[in-house]
Structures are given as C-alpha cells and as structure tokens.
C-alpha cells in the first residue's frame, strides 16, 4: 500500500504540473491544430510530439543539471534559434492570413507529406526555448521527490499525452467551423501575432 502511494503521489503532482505547463496554445499546439483540421498525418504528428516530450522530460529529470553545468552555452543558443524559428512561422502565418483561402480545401497549408509533417512536429517541439524552460522547471521540481522523481516524470508525460490527444480530437470537432475560409484567416492571424510576440520576448531576453 505504501509503495503504491509513494508512486501515486508524485505521479499526480507531475500530472498537475504538466497540465499547467502544456495546456496552452504555443507553436507546437498551433501546428498540431492545423494538421488535425486538415487531417494531414495527425497520428504521426501526435506520435512524434509525444515521443519527443517523453524522452526530454525523462532525460531532464535524470541528467539536466549535469548538462546545464557542462554546457552553459545551451540556453542562449536555444533562445536565438527559437526566436528565428518563431519569427519565420509568424511571417508564414501572416501571409496565409492575408491571402484568400478556400476553407479546408488547400491541403498545402499543412505539411503535405508524412515525413515533412513528422519533421515539422519535431522542430516545433525541440526548437522551442519555452519547451526547454519547461524542461528545466520540471527537472528542478522533480528533485523534491528524491528517489520517486521518475514517478513525477511519468506524471508529466501522462499530462503531455492527454493534452496532445485533446488537441488532435478537438481539431476534428472544429472541422465544420473551419470550412469557412474566414475562420482560417482568423486562426492564422492569431497564430502570427502569438508567434511574433513570443519571438520578440525571446529576443529581448537574449539581447
């Protein structure tokens, strides 16, 4: 009984932490939403995102402190790379919002091939300094659970999977709304603003 509680308590803490961190519309979530609305390889996209999240979360709990100490250049490098990545995506979204579309018809607005979709999903996960800041936070919080830190990490992983499935399923429910081209323009305009704001925040921190 005690062994089960020792696992469940940190697992629940990790689940709560993960939901608080992941339940937001960032670069990865916006990409998943677009792929889901287009039904463009959404299963592969979700699998890549879930696997990347799981590997990075578990690795952070086990080894992030050592990595941060031995590679102090990592945080600024990720900041500049992430700012460039987000700025490029903001520009692309702004162009889509400006152009006239045909609702769900233009599949070219989503990653067309399975390989391209999976590569983009990996990029939106890993080339994202906010993701790595979350990883650092998760690693530091996990240390409070001592030998039960892996259970905490598994709770965070469960939250990641739940959020990804929610995005994938929610996109399907929103398909009728996005048959109207104006809905796509509103979505792209909003994404462009959010991505540009994130890129600006990262640049102000790096300078």
Q: Per the domain annotation, does 22 fall within a domain?
A: yes
Number of domains in the chain: 1
106: in domain: no
Instruction: Please indicate, yes or no, if residue 86 is contained in any of the structural domains.
Output: yes
Specify if 76 maps to a domain: yes
Task: Please state the pTM of the whole predicted model.
Answer: 0.67
Classify residue 145: in a domain, yes or no. Answer: yes
Q: Give the whole-angstrom CA distance, residue 161 versus residue 172.
A: 17
Give residue 80's pLDDT. Answer: 77
- Gap between the terminal Cα atoms of the chain: 53
Confidence of residue 107 (pLDDT cuts 50, 70, 90): very low
Q: Is the pLDDT of residue 96 over 60?
A: yes
Q: Is residue 94 part of a domain?
A: yes
**Average pLDDT value for residue range 67-75:** 67
Closest CA to 21 of 53, 48, 52, 47: 53
Domain span including residue 158: 3-101+112-206
In a domain, 61, yes or no: yes
Confidence class for position 163, pLDDT limits 50, 70, 90: confident
pLDDT tens digit sequence for 7-47: 778 898 888 888 877 766 667 877 888 788 777 788 899 99
Q: Is residue 28 part of a domain?
A: yes
User: Within 13 Å and on the Cβ side, how many CA atoms surround 152?
Assistant: 21
């Amino acid at each position: 009984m005690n062994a089960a509680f020792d696992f469940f308590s940190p697992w629940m803490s990790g689940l709560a932490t993960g939901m608080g961190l992941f339940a937001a519309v960032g670069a990865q979530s916006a990409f998943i939403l677009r792929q889901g609305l287009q039904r463009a390889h959404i299963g592969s996209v979700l699998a890549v995102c879930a696997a990347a999240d799981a590997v990075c979360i578990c690795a952070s709990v086990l080894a992030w402190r050592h990595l941060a100490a031995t590679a102090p250049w990592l945080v600024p490098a990720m900041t500049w790379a992430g700012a460039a990545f987000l700025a490029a995506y903001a520009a692309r979204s702004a162009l889509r919002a400006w152009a006239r579309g045909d609702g769900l018809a233009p599949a070219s607005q989503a990653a067309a091939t399975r390989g391209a979709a999976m590569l983009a999903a990996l990029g939106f996960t890993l080339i994202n300094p906010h993701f790595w800041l979350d990883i650092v936070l998760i690693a530091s919080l996990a240390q409070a659970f001592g030998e039960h830190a892996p259970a905490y990490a598994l709770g965070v992983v469960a939250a990641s999977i739940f959020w990804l499935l929610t995005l994938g399923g929610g996109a399907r429910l929103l398909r009728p709304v996005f048959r109207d081209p104006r809905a796509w323009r509103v979505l792209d305009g909003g994404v462009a603003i959010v991505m540009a704001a994130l890129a600006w925040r990262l640049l102000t921190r790096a300078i």
